Amino acid sequence: MNIVITGAGRGIGYETALLLAADANNRVIALSRNADALAALQQHAPNGNVDVYVCDLVAATVPEIADLLGTYGTIDILINNAGLLVNSSFADSTPAEWQRMWDTNVMGVVKMVQAVLPLMRGASQPHIVNIGSMGGFQGTAKFPGLAAYSASKAAVANLTECLAEELKDQNIKVNCLALGAVNTEMLHEAFPGYVAPVSATDMARYIASFAVAGHYVMNGKIIPVSISTP
């Protein structure tokens, strides 16, 4: 399978890419803004089946992304993992911060989906997995400082439901995993000193497994993935 994953330079994306590359039948196409991290990912891939591309989803256009991926012919799985987390109180947040969060967390997903759709139509069981957040999951506890982030992830969840309906006649399944807190660099940068109950590797195991098999029984679902309640 040809599997595209964004935000593969660190944390959950990095670990997920490695796990998917453990299957020699997979070709993992990893995107990130960090060239050094991508080089390390490619070096540690067990089967030499990871292709890496430096790509800033905020700056990139849909045609540019489509051209980058077009050489693969068919894309079986897209994991929209790239994201931005900024801890800023609503009162102190700026329109620029909100725009930056929206451009990364929402428009990055929009661009990737639009770019890969023509390549997914030739796949037998195509699956789009959007990485959301419990912060964007209705009815869960919310935390101060995450209004912009949570709102952007709520948009991703709603977009998932809309895409699943619009693409069902093309047999393209779309699901969203709403993740709870995970020990990643991004989390530590936003909340210094906080230790999450789940490691990036453990969460990556779930995401990799779901990306490969979850769409056989689910479509248009927003799935909470957290060991805490609510």
Catalytically active residues are 149
Q: Which helix (H) or strand (E) holds 14?
A: helix 11-21
Residue type, 117: L
**Among 190, 171, 184, residue whose Cα is nearest residue 12:** 184
Q: Which amino acid is at 164?
A: A
SS3 209: helix
SS3 assignment, position 2? strand
Other C-beta atoms within 10 Å of 187: how many?
18
Distance CA 208, CA 203 (A): 9
